[in-house]
Structure 1
């Protein structure tokens, strides 16, 4: 995924998030639970309980940007068996996640035509 920024770090927030939270609520999670500075330009990834939506939050030097992606019929391969609050990802792992693969191993989504 090519973005408008080149984040110095990418963090996946392990727990599921109430998606009524927007920039302020997600920034509070970053600072209070992850104990990270939200203003560093790092990219933070959040998932809803249904695993069909993700939000990406980052500071771009002028304000916060919030990206949202919803899968049509599948679920994101969200790593649940990690002990830390956050998992550091590489840009390649972020691409895998956004493409429907597991960040801890390749398991592609399988779409089929209804015809």
Structure 2
């Protein structure tokens, strides 16, 4: 994954997206469905119907970039909301792309005392 600054805004299109859409089709969805400018520098994430494919759309200052990831086992954890839009942090996006449930990450045990 390309390292994103922690201040990067991440928008998820909730529900399933037609994964046949390319860069232009997803940019139109970001503008009309998510009500955000695809050229704002934010990352827009879209998930397919089967749940094993994610496409990310990002404007890097020079042009639009389209990234995709297909997970081998399982499905990407995706919210289903009434509004159709969810906002994540860059850290939550990283967990999502690793297949971790970003809504409730498991914390590891921490010792109470040194030594």
TM tier, smaller: 0.7 to 0.9
Q: What is the CA-CA distance between 1:23 and the residue it aligns to? A: 0.4
Q: What is the CA-CA distance between 1:103 and the residue it aligns to? A: 2.4
The structure having more radius of gyration, on CA atoms, is 2
Matched residue, 2:109: none
Matched residue, 2:19: 19
CA offsets per residue over residues 69-88 of structure 1, 9 Å max, x none?
Answer: 001122111122x2222111
The 5-angstrom pairing of residues 29-68 of structure 1 reads: 29-68=29-68
Matched residue, 1:110: none
CA distance in 2, matches of 1:9, 1:52: 23
Unaligned runs of 5+ in 1: 108-115
Runs of 4+ in 1 over 3 A off after TM superposition: none
Report the TM-score, using the length of structure 2 for normalisation: 0.83
Q: What is the CA-CA distance between 1:8 and the residue it aligns to? A: 2.8
CA offsets per residue over residues 29-57 of structure 1, 9 Å max, x none?
Answer: 01011111111100000000000000000
The 5-angstrom pairing of residues 65-76 of structure 1 reads: 65-76=65-76
Aligned residues: 105
